[in-house]
Structure 1
Amino acid sequence: MVKVKICGITNLEDALLACDLGADAIGFIFHEKTPRHIRPSEAQLIARSLPPFVTKVGVFVNMPIQELGKICETVPLDLVQLHGDEPTEYCRQVDRPWLKVFRVSDEFDVSQLAPYKAIGFLLDTFNQERYGGTGQTFNWKIAKEAKRFGQIILSGGLNPQNVSEAMNFVKPYAVDVCSGVEAVPGKKDPEKMRRFFGEISCTAKSR
């Protein structure tokens, strides 16, 4: 069954509901230029309250490697998500398992994934103004093509209305949702989350 990551968690209530509904991973965003930003001290408290087999993911955007390391010392992260323009030299210095994010436009060349020795690749929608949280999808044919380079985590504009179609078309290793299950930026909508997981469950059973 496809794995599910709920990203942009800022409070314990949302985190625990996501886990109760079946989330495999919870994402904490440490990039300050987003309303979904969370302080390391807050993320630490939430992370310590999660069930033992839920993966705790830290999302970073072009952060100096020393700062990233300090956050990893504070928050019990299992996985680092590099969501910026980090070169391979930077990635090799990360002392946790890591995902590399690529922001996909119609002209995206999937061969860009090749030099990165990541445990997986998260594909998000390209936006000139921001890193993630756009609420917009991209051409999923590109995600299908990218699967030859490794495990693909599909992101970008997923919501209860389109996640089933995305799963059937791309057949990704995992799906990642943030704004698609929010009430407002930084606060999840419980009903949207339930519908999102319900669609995933129904789609998995129909295969």
Structure 2
Amino acid sequence: MTRVKICGLRCAVLAEQACEAGADAIGLVFYPHSSRAVSASQALDVIKGTQALVTSVGLFVDPQADEVERILEICPLDCLQFHGTESAAFCEQFGRPYIKAISMRPEIDIDALLQEHQGARALLFDAWRPDAPGGTGDTFAWERIPVLSRPWILAGGLTPDNVGTAIEQVAPQAVDVSGGVENASGEKDPRRMRQFIDAVREADRRKHEDAAV
């Protein structure tokens, strides 16, 4: 089954609704320039709204190490997600599994990043825009993703309308959505969250039916 991460949650009620809809992970944004940013204390409240076994993921963009440590002292994140130019050594120092985001710039050297971040729990492929590290609502050419034998996550402009096609075409282990389930920037819509997860499960059902033929 394709795992689903709902990113950019900011309150416990919506986190609970995301979990009830079937989310496998929730994302908490610690990038102050984002409309979805939360403080460590806000993030702790959000985590309290999640169900057991739902993974909490903290998203950072080129943070200082002491900033990450301060947040971890307050908020017991299960996993860290790095969206900047962080080195593998930086990502590995916090004693948490980590996800390394790869923004699909035209000149990106994917092989070099794969080689450097061998210790990452997963790679996340996201759309690129020069003025934002993620959460843009843009898609990218999915065929640019190399064939991988390690876990990876698809992000970038996913919605209830296109996530089924994405799963059919590139079969990611997981999908990550933020703006695609909002009714305004930073405001999650419970109905769209459920529609998104339903679309993922329907795509999984079709995939398994096709495999059984």
TM-score of the superposed pair, with normalisation by structure 2: 0.92
Q: How many residues align?
A: 205
Over aligned residues, Cα RMSD in angstroms? 1.2
Contact 1:152 1:173 in 2 (8 A): yes
Q: CA deviation at 1:90?
A: 1.2
Amino acid at match of 2:160: P
Q: CA deviation at 1:107?
A: 3.6
Runs of 4+ residues over 4 Å off in structure 1:
none
Amino acid at match of 1:191: R
Amino acid at match of 1:62: D
Contact 1:106 1:139 in 2 (8 A): no
* TM-superposition CA deviations, 1:73-101 (whole Å, max 9, x none): 11110000011110122123122110111
SS in 2 for 1:147: coil
The answer to whether structure 1 residue 123 and structure 2 residue 120 are counterparts is no
SS in 2 for 1:45: helix
The answer to whether structure 1 residue 102 and structure 2 residue 102 are counterparts is yes
Contact 1:106 1:138 in 2 (8 A): no
Amino acid at match of 2:69: G
Aligned to 1:154: 154
Q: Which is further off, 174-183 or 39-48?
A: 39-48
Q: Which is further off, 185-194 or 2-11?
A: 185-194
Matches within 5 A, 1:22-33: 22-33=22-33
Q: CA deviation at 1:115?
A: 1.1
TM-score of the superposed pair, with normalisation by structure 1: 0.95
Aligned to 2:210: none
- Rounded to whole Å, the distance in 2 between the matches of 1:46 and 1:35 is 16
Aligned to 1:51: 51
Q: Give the gaps of 5 or more residues in structure 2.
A: 208-213
Contact 1:110 1:146 in 2 (8 A): no
Q: Give the gaps of 5 or more residues in structure 1.
A: none
* TM-superposition CA deviations, 1:93-113 (whole Å, max 9, x none): 122110111100344332022
